[in-house]
Structure 1
Amino acid sequence: MFRFLTLPVLALSLTALAPAPAALAQQGPLRIEITEGVIEPLPFAAPTFVAENGEAAQFAADITRVIAADLAGTGLFREIPENAHISRVSSFEAPVSYADWKAINAQALITGAVAVSGGRVSVKFRLYDVFSGAELGDGLQFAASTASWRRLAHKVADAAYSRITGEGGYFDSRVVFVAEAGAKNARQKRLGIMDYDGANVQYLTDSSTIVLAPRFSPSGDRVLYTTFETGFPRIKMIDVASVTGRFLAEQPGTMTFAPRFSPDGSRVVYSLEQGGNTDIWVMDIGSGSASRLTNTPAIETAPSFSPDGSRIVFESDRSGTQQLYIMPASGGEATRISFGEGRYGTPVWSPRGDLVAFTKQNAGRFHIGVMRTDGSEERLLTASFLDEGPTWAPNGRVIMFTRETAGAGGEPRLYSVDISGRNLKPVPTAGAASDPAWSPLLP
């Protein structure tokens, strides 16, 4: 008996398929243990999914390619090309010829089938541990409108990734960013939103005014950002679906910027400048009621809530240089957590709650780094002319950030890196881009 979950926006559904006779729900030996050392990518095979009717042929090919790209793009997996396959999968229900897959050293096998009917596409798949000769978990089936076929591919890849690594996936997510164009000294900026891999780009604003630092709500349906629409920096909130926005309440004679949502989405923590002094404030979105959390002559900005909402990490120069501090979410005494050489900024708490990512400037170089929330175990993941503004993938495994090249022709681009410092790579965008912010997993 199938259980369907229907989501109103994308009309996406999920069911569990009956397990194959040899199925062992995540009890097989196939597993990637992710450590800080060098990881040998796990070889997997993803033969083109079976098209169950004529309309499904292209969808089957495209979905298979996206699944393979998702997994291989993590650096944890290596795809065995289809021209090296011995077995050919012509039926989703056909028994697996494990010996043929062992012969090409495939450790994981993903098979699937695709059908299209009435403007909807459905995908079913199974994941196998080749060397134990068993299925890993139950098969699953996803369905959505044909326009959402890429989401189905990401859903399958997330499921396979989770079963093999034991961690949550992150492929079915989006990134909001600042798309940039024009000369370096006169950049036009607008908010863009895209799939995590750069596909399906849409724009939320035009380029008539400067926009900065977009941040997703915990539910992924709203974005906060700083805009110069009125001539001074102010915080605006935009609804992703309707692309309608409104300014948050302000105090006359102040400038507000660097906003982030609280974990429950009901409040915004941000910086407010008044009379040359910048402090951190928090506002209830519904009522517009605001309260001050810091009160020092220092510049204090870039606040970020802990996942449980109990604490806030932020940057401050109260010690004489730009450093990172943590305070209770209600304000009060702050504890410094950064003590290395150089300056620290743009901290953001990991979704797992165990790490803080940050930007570090030292000896003429910029770095993206992570540290424990008590400041211990600092690790620098990147180094370049200018790296800044980290944002976490929903599973806390990958960080995306802005990297800008030097010189008159230099421009910002988006990059991602694993928290072990491995798999540094550019994120595909049509042009210059900065200030990325990762959404939660889509529903």
Structure 2
Amino acid sequence: MSFFSDTEAGILQRHLSRRSLLGGAAASGVLVTPLALLGGTARAAGDSAPAEITVAGAHQAPIPIVIPDFGPGLGNQISGVISADLSSTGLFQVMGGTVPASVQPDFSALKGRGARVAVAGSAAGSDSVRVEMRLWDVVAGQQMEGRAYTASQSNWRRIAHIIADAIYKRLLGEDGYFDTRIAYISRTGPRRHQSTRLAIMDQDGANAHMLTNGSWLTLEPRFSPISEQLAFLSYANNRPRVYVYDLNTGQQTILGTFEGISFAPRFSPDGRSIILSATTRDGGADLYLIDLATQHRRRLTSAPGVIDTSPCFSPDGQNIVFNSDRGGSPQLYVMSVNGGDARRISYGHGHYGSPVWSPRGDQIAFVRIGSGGFTLGVMGPDGVGERSLTQGFTVESPSFAPNGRALAFCRQNAAGAGGAGFSSSIAVIDVAGFNEHIIPTTTGASDPAWSPLRR
């Protein structure tokens, strides 16, 4: 479980009777086809193509890239989304300009502007839209990529995100994360009496819509890695339990039957099971693994009075990182998915929680609470190399982008008398600790959960 706000902590505290839980502190539908080469010789393309520049290099010197309008109306909107996607990473210096869509560009003129790469594109159609994109290596004077995308007009934003992903991958050698969504908790009303609703949006904040009506406190959404499902915590009928929400049908299903409350769900990497925490009669909480097909559950931890929570799988599904107060204060532990001995990995100053394993397997993100407030950081799976990414009054609920390059998290500010001035928003930061920015939302927002790349 994440570190909760005061209101949520109070609700859970009544069920657990343990303040230690908080550590003592408050591309379906898009057809993609190759384009014929426009003169000369193309650079090697495809999944095996080498990156043109490293991410570390782009961090130090963002890639100068020219992205022109793809035409009036819809074309202009598509190029605007592509530009915004690439700019949001901090790895690209996006420039406007004119690049012809059907002939080779003037490389000398582009070089004179300092461009390293240029994009050319066009958009045509009404009910069905065809968008063409070419990526040019300005320095070498060669075409790097050429594709056409066809979809219904309602999918134009997806086409733009898919193009941005293609550019990102061709230049940096790793998958992008623009054609993704973020599930989150929408928050409205006074701080102490907020209405919370399960919600979903594109990763840039567009196309947001509510999935639940706000009748009950809702928290902790988690995406399935393989299907259109979300696991989340709902207080429906005043009984906190984990539910699974089907994004295709809107159906909500209770996951498992527990004597106490169940919370902190997380899908396994293969999407076939969910690990969660469930409270016990002695005031603790144990970890359980539930098979989604059979509903069979297996207890992974069992220690009287100990709270084990916030479990998250390693990308290979062989290990679990979780938060536990078994040593006297909330710290991070790693153990086999089969249970058994757990190894502590957090030894810094303060209380640790909200661990989440990077899709790359090389880092674990976490939240640490100390005398200076909240810190969002990362460390190796063995606890080595801990470093801080950002701090604040409250920073919590980290969630990795599917390529492991960025982290979404919740940032909340301190409130004045009566909750005045309080805000809760979703921010994104590069795992190198730079380029933090807020995702625009129409309401207050928390508990972000990044989806896999859409297929």
State whether TM-score is above 0.5.
Answer: yes
Query: Per-residue deviation at 1:258?
Result: 0.4
The residue that corresponds to 1:73 in the other structure is 88
Deviations 1:407-426 (A, max 9, x none): 12212111010000010111
Counterpart CA distance in 1 for 2:316 and 2:51 is 33
Q: Structure 1 38/201 Cα, relative in aligned 2: closer, same or farther at 3 Å?
A: closer
Work out which of the residue numbers 331, 343, 347 in structure 2 matches 1:335: 343
> Match for 1:245: what amino acid?
Q
Q: Please show how residues 171-210 of structure 1 align to structure 2 within 5 Å.
A: 171-210=178-217
Query: Per-residue deviation at 1:233?
Result: 1.0
1:225 aligns with 2:240: no
Structure 1 residue matching 2:140: 3-state secondary structure: coil
> Match for 1:18: what amino acid?
A
1:291 aligns with 2:303: no
Q: Please show how residues 291-370 of structure 1 align to structure 2 within 5 Å.
A: 291-297=298-304, 298-370=306-378
Work out which of the residue numbers 268, 274, 280 in structure 1 matches 2:274: 268
The residue that corresponds to 1:372 in the other structure is 380
Q: Answer yes or no: is the 8 Å Cα contact 2:362–2:381 preserved in 1.
A: yes
Deviations 1:1-30 (A, max 9, x none): xxxxxx6xx521111122333211259998
Counterpart CA distance in 2 for 1:170 and 1:398 is 9
Work out which of the residue numbers 22, 25, 28 in structure 1 matches 2:41: 22
Counterpart CA distance in 2 for 1:19 and 1:234 is 56
Query: Per-residue deviation at 1:365?
Result: 1.4
Q: Answer yes or no: is the 8 Å Cα contact 2:260–2:279 preserved in 1.
A: yes
Q: TM-score, normalised by structure 1?
A: 0.92
Q: Answer yes or no: is the 8 Å Cα contact 1:178–1:434 preserved in 2.
A: yes
Work out which of the residue numbers 69, 72, 79 in structure 2 matches 1:64: 79
Q: Answer yes or no: is the 8 Å Cα contact 1:192–1:204 preserved in 2.
A: yes
Counterpart CA distance in 1 for 2:104 and 2:273 is 53
Counterpart CA distance in 1 for 2:52 and 2:351 is 39
Structure 1 residue matching 2:263: 3-state secondary structure: strand
The residue that corresponds to 1:398 in the other structure is 406
Query: Per-residue deviation at 1:284?
Result: 0.7
Structure 1 residue matching 2:391: 3-state secondary structure: coil
Deviations 1:123-157 (A, max 9, x none): 11111111111122x31121211001000000000
Structure with the bigger percentage of helix? 2
Work out which of the residue numbers 169, 178, 184 in structure 2 matches 1:162: 169
Q: Structure 1 63/45 Cα, relative in aligned 2: closer, same or farther at 3 Å?
A: same
Q: Answer yes or no: is the 8 Å Cα contact 1:25–1:135 preserved in 2.
A: no
Query: Per-residue deviation at 1:220?
Result: 4.6
Counterpart CA distance in 2 for 1:132 and 1:314 is 49
Moved over 6 A (4+): 27-30
Counterpart CA distance in 2 for 1:433 and 1:134 is 44
Aligned residue-pair number: 420
Query: Per-residue deviation at 1:41?
Result: 1.4
Structure 2 residue matching 1:361: 3-state secondary structure: strand
Q: Answer yes or no: is the 8 Å Cα contact 2:59–2:91 preserved in 1.
A: no
> Match for 2:106: what amino acid?
S
The residue that corresponds to 1:106 in the other structure is 115
Structure 1 residue matching 2:238: 3-state secondary structure: coil
The residue that corresponds to 1:420 in the other structure is 432
Q: Structure 1 403/224 Cα, relative in aligned 2: closer, same or farther at 3 Å?
A: same
Counterpart CA distance in 1 for 2:268 and 2:354 is 16
Query: Per-residue deviation at 1:264?
Result: 1.0
Q: Structure 1 32/362 Cα, relative in aligned 2: closer, same or farther at 3 Å?
A: farther
Larger mean CA deviation between 407-416 and 269-278 belongs to 407-416
Q: Answer yes or no: is the 8 Å Cα contact 2:130–2:150 preserved in 1.
A: yes
Q: Answer yes or no: is the 8 Å Cα contact 1:361–1:367 preserved in 2.
A: yes
Q: Answer yes or no: is the 8 Å Cα contact 1:214–1:223 preserved in 2.
A: yes
The residue that corresponds to 1:85 in the other structure is none
Counterpart CA distance in 1 for 2:270 and 2:408 is 23
Structure 1 residue matching 2:237: 3-state secondary structure: coil
Query: Per-residue deviation at 1:38?
Result: 5.3
> Match for 1:353: what amino acid?
G
Query: Per-residue deviation at 1:387?
Result: 0.3
Q: Answer yes or no: is the 8 Å Cα contact 1:30–1:107 preserved in 2.
A: no
Q: Answer yes or no: is the 8 Å Cα contact 2:388–2:433 preserved in 1.
A: yes
> Match for 2:322: what amino acid?
F
Q: TM-score, normalised by structure 2?
A: 0.89
Q: Answer yes or no: is the 8 Å Cα contact 1:111–1:125 preserved in 2.
A: yes
Structure 2: state its 5+ residue gaps: 1-26
Query: Per-residue deviation at 1:35?
Result: 2.8
Counterpart CA distance in 2 for 1:401 and 1:126 is 34
Give me the CA root mean square deviation: 1.7
